[in-house]
Structure 1
Amino acid sequence: MFHLKPKRILSKATCAIACVFILAEAGAQANAAVVTRAAETKDSEVANSSSAHPFLGDDPVSIRDRMVNRSTPTGAPSLGDRVLGLIHSPTSQRNSDSDLMGADLSRDLTFVVAVPYGIRYNAEKHQLTVNVDLSGDDPAGIVLRKTIRGPSGRRLVVAPEARSKGFIQNIEIIEIDAKKNRKTTVHGRVILSPEVYAEANGDFAIAIMGNLVPPYFSDRIDHSDPTDDEPTDITTRTSRLYVAITAVWLISPQRGMVLSKALRLSK
Structure 2
Amino acid sequence: MSAGAPDTPRALRELAAAGRWNGPTAGILDGHQQANLVIVPRELAYDVLLYCVRNPKPCPVIAVTEPGDPVVRVGTTVADLRTDLPRYRLWRHGEPAGEPHDITPYWRDDSVGFLLGCSHTFEGPLCRAGVPVRYAPGSAAPPVYVTDVPTRPAGRLSGPLVVSMRAIPAALVARAVEITARYPTGHGAPVHIGDPAALGIADLSRPDFGPSPVIEDGDVPVFWACGVTPQLALPAAAPEYAITHAPGHMLVLDHLVDAAPEGQ
TM-score, normalising length from structure 1? 0.24
Which structure has more helix as a fraction of its residues? 1
TM-score, normalising length from structure 2? 0.24
| Higher RCO (Cα < 8 Å, 6 or more apart) | 2
State which structure, 1 or 2, has the greater radius of gyration over its C-alpha atoms. Answer: 1
